[in-house]
Structure 1
Amino acid sequence: MFAGKWFERGLGQFVAPDKNYKPKPEELEQTIFSVVAPNTKTTKVPPASAFPSSIVCENCQKATQTPRTKHPTVHDDQLRHIEQLVLECAKTTASKLGEASDGTKNAKKVLEFCTNNTEAKTEKAKDKREKSKIRITSLLENNPDLFTETRAYNMNYPPDGFTPLMAAALSDNLLAAQLLLELGPVELQLQQRDFLGRTALHICAEKGSAGVLELLRPLYPTPPLDLNLRTAYGSALLSPEPSARKLARSLYKPNDLSILGSPQPQRLRVTVATPLMAAWADMPGHRITMEDAIVTKAYGDGVLLAAVCDGHGDGGKVSKFVAEQLQKRVTMDAITEDWWKNTCLEIDADLKKTSRLGGSTASIAFLTPDHIVVANVGDSRCILIQKGVPEEESSDKPIPEMAALALHERMRVISLTQDHKPNLPSEQARIEAAGLSVVEEKYEEDGTVHTLYKVALSKENLLATSRAFGDFEYKTNKDLPADQQAVVAVPDVVIRQRSKHDLFMVVACDGIWDVMSPQQVGDFVLQTMTTEAKQSKVALVDAADKLLQECLSLGSRDNMSVVVVALGDASESPPRKVLDFE
């Protein structure tokens, strides 16, 4: 019977195959030897599916056999802990609903004391305040749960979910904060969160409560994070309170996560189009809210797209839109000036249909085995780093109006873009022809007076670049086409032949160029990337990361985004594959 089955599906299938026959799983595990001479001592071997191959976790870079489950990152662990504390806040606050016990009344008295920071100017007022302090001290000593179980509910001020220490932070009530920390559990009070995951330190920073902040700041050895993974420093910088922004300097620490952001794992920040390799890095910086977007895309061997889109005024929606459109639209035809001008104007027209506010600049590089094509809109930049060759041996010519061609030891740095500043003669002429004006804005920094030129829509509405995607309020002249408005999305396009001297390309937003010149960036990249390491993915990402850290240390106050491309010689492109049947 078994032999019949074997020959039916084995030899029979070989001699006269039946395409509709589907063997059972157990039949697939049988061989002819298992039928003719079965070995009863042989242990059944599990199928290969029982031994899943290990993969590398995207977060921690360690081996795992669960491809759908990433190993947690430090941020993941922190976020889960914060979420748990927020849930506890919600449960504790909800438990007070409809409650009218003595405990609720006492909690309300404590919260009212903590939020009342009216200065006692008269002796009568001082006496009243001292008596109030004595009563609250007695309540806290007799009811220890008031420190951690008290949550504001339906009080208008402080907001729902606030603890007594948060209420003191909100009102900058130093007397109340000192009393709470003196009588109650310090660590528990410091780590409690409101519905947004904020600690008392976050609330001090956001409100500008200088007195309580100075009390609390030394008690947090590590800056706490809220649900947005922002520190108190980030809360201070984003606060609308002028007094809060003044406190930011005292809260700043070099490794503040509000500044560094949450970078993706290094292996996800490399794009390879052999022999080209691009690595990118970004950082919110002191702006805290990230508005940049980066594009790296391989189209096959030796063909790569790299772009940095620097958004402004909308939280990064326009820059993300432009980045997405570039990935969708760029093809192998993107090697002419007309193609880029038409495509950028089409992207801008489609952006207008979305009714998004704000705008974005973009510096775009498209590389092929034969060409380097750079399209630039605004004040992001692209530079080319070459192996240094004597001027007489080079056929390269400096790009008109760009003075950043420099020989330096064994390399040269060439600027492939020019910032679109409103005071450039051609830019200012177009702006004024469209009915707007260019104004000067002066500011002083470290004793030096600087001048910025901006496109003026009104006294309050000024734009520091004359070309951008979006910013449609500057593109309202109905008598002019899109490429003649005060602000346009028309790129300057540079097309170069690839050279054996090409080494690296850097595309970056103005957060980099504000503190480093093209030559300095070129020097830095070469110092971090040795010739031997230029094809190392880790080394290339490290170079991008270290460049941002360097700009941060030099005082850059903006978002920072960079793509570093290792070019390799054009002659290194692999030959086309040919099928060989011999």
Structure 2
Amino acid sequence: GLGAYFGVFDGHGGVQCADFVAKNLHRRIVGALRGGREAAPDAGPPTQAEVENALEDGFIQLDKNFLQIASRQLINAGSTAVVALYCGSGPGDLSMYIANLGDSRAVLCRGGKAVRLSEDHKPSRRDERNRIEKAGGIVAQVQGIWRVTREAFTERDRRERVWLAVSRAFGNVRLKDPNPLVINTPEIRVEPVGEDDLFMVMCCDGIWDVMSDQEVIDLAGEHWGDPNEAAAAVVRTALQKGSQDNLTAQVIQYAWQSDHAKDMIAKWLETEAQRKKEVEELEEDIDMFS
């Protein structure tokens, strides 16, 4: 059945949308799942299709709820989202459902390697740009960042123009009404939890802007057994690397892997250290040769 649920929500234009989504999204997802099973409530564990439909319906319905509030109260805030929902009877029979809007990202540690579980929704992504332009929107670089906006037909349009660096998100009423340029349909990925899967990291873009997927996985792996410290180390490192954005990291460790996790992590960190040493020696040889 349904198990643990985790999420990261990165607000923009105010905190109202991110707060609303963080407090209510899981309720909408569960409500959508129950609503879809009313005809057969005792049909056993939900199917993959039922869970995927509940995730999509939950995202879309919650966004409609927020947009109604935002229109009445003149709120222009929005939020990204990346959530993980675990389903199954336990280790060996567990799948994770990853759903996302925007550029907050989920990355899995599988045998020491980073496996990206979500794809960022950026206006520069070819499929996203095509969709936006077909809907009448504009995609352009502003201060070095690709953004989406509406055409400005009047002076007021130009004054109130909104430029957004993500192509899917909750909220952002000005980019959804009357025609949605930024959409609320999540991309969903289903992944079985395997025997080499040790933990997952979920972060907002302030982390990923300055750290690679593998860098985050390596750093979090050094703190196996203490997910709070692992997350704190990721945030500290992103800050040291000069990230100017807000920083959120969440590390979900699979405790049932404890018996062999430390050995596996030690081996991959040793291998990575050896690889870095070889690269440094090669660079020294090149410098000397130059």
Task: Give the TM bin, normalised by the shorter chain.
Answer: 0.7 to 0.9
Give secondary structure in 1 for the equivalent of 2:110. strand
Letter paired with 2:163: L
Letter paired with 2:234: L
Structure 1 alignment gaps of length 5 or more: 1-298, 388-410, 443-450, 479-484, 573-582
Aligned-pair identity (%): 32
Report the CA distance between 1:508 and its aligned residue: 0.8
Residue 60 of structure 2 corresponds to residue 345 of structure 1: yes
Match of 1:551 in 2: 238
Report the CA distance between 1:489 and its aligned residue: 1.0
Letter paired with 1:541: N
Letter paired with 1:454: R
Summarize the Cα distance change of 1:339–1:560 in structure 2 as closer, same or farther, 3 Å threshold.
Answer: same
Give secondary structure in 2 for the equivalent of 1:494. strand
For residues 408-557 of structure 1, the aligned pairs below 5 Å read 411-442=112-143, 451-457=144-150, 458=152, 460-477=161-178, 485-529=180-224, 534=225, 539-557=226-244
* Structure number with higher strand proportion: 2
* 8 A Cα contact 1:500 1:569, kept in partner: no
Summarize the Cα distance change of 1:470–1:334 in structure 2 as closer, same or farther, 3 Å threshold.
Answer: farther
* 8 A Cα contact 1:502 1:568, kept in partner: no
* TM score, norm. by length of structure 2: 0.73
Residue 21 of structure 2 corresponds to residue 322 of structure 1: yes
Report the CA distance between 1:334 and its aligned residue: 9.0
- 1:507-560 deviation digits (Å, cap 9, x = unpaired): 11111111111010001011222xxxx2xxxx2211111221111111111111
Report the CA distance between 1:503 and its aligned residue: 0.1
Letter paired with 1:362: A
Report the CA distance between 1:567 and its aligned residue: 1.6
For residues 90-239 of structure 1, the aligned pairs below 5 Å read none
Give secondary structure in 2 for the equivalent of 1:435. coil
Report the CA distance between 1:422 and its aligned residue: 0.7
* 8 A Cα contact 1:334 1:366, kept in partner: no
Q: Would you say how many aligned residue pairs link Structure 1 and Structure 2?
A: 226
Give secondary structure in 2 for the equivalent of 1:413. strand
Summarize the Cα distance change of 1:420–1:334 in structure 2 as closer, same or farther, 3 Å threshold.
Answer: farther
Letter paired with 2:128: E
For residues 559-578 of structure 1, the aligned pairs below 5 Å read 559-569=246-256
Report the CA distance between 1:468 and its aligned residue: 0.5
Name the CA distance, whole Å, in 1 between partners of 2:190 and 2:145.
30
Letter paired with 2:83: I
Letter paired with 1:352: L
Name the CA distance, whole Å, in 2 between partners of 1:505 and 1:496.
12
* 8 A Cα contact 2:12 2:79, kept in partner: yes
Give secondary structure in 2 for the equivalent of 1:464. coil
Name the CA distance, whole Å, in 2 between partners of 1:566 and 1:528.
10
Name the CA distance, whole Å, in 1 between partners of 2:142 and 2:66.
30
Match of 1:30 in 2: none
Report the CA distance between 1:329 and its aligned residue: 2.7
* 8 A Cα contact 2:28 2:59, kept in partner: no
Name the CA distance, whole Å, in 2 between partners of 1:568 and 1:508.
20
Name the CA distance, whole Å, in 2 between partners of 1:337 and 1:361.
19
Letter paired with 1:453: W
Name the CA distance, whole Å, in 2 between partners of 1:380 and 1:334.
27
Structure 2 alignment gaps of length 5 or more: 34-45, 153-157, 260-290
Give secondary structure in 1 for the equivalent of 2:10. strand
- Given candidates 332, 343, 359, the residue that maps to 2:78 is 359
Name the CA distance, whole Å, in 1 between partners of 2:189 and 2:205.
19
* TM score, norm. by length of structure 1: 0.37
- Given candidates 97, 107, 111, the residue that maps to 1:383 is 107
Letter paired with 2:17: V
Match of 1:305 in 2: 5
Report the CA distance between 1:569 and its aligned residue: 4.7
- 1:109-166 deviation digits (Å, cap 9, x = unpaired): xxxxxxxxxxxxxxxxxxxxxxxxxxxxxxxxxxxxxxxxxxxxxxxxxxxxxxxxxx
Report the CA distance between 1:325 and its aligned residue: 1.1
Name the CA distance, whole Å, in 2 between partners of 1:350 and 1:330.
14
Summarize the Cα distance change of 1:497–1:569 in structure 2 as closer, same or farther, 3 Å threshold.
Answer: farther
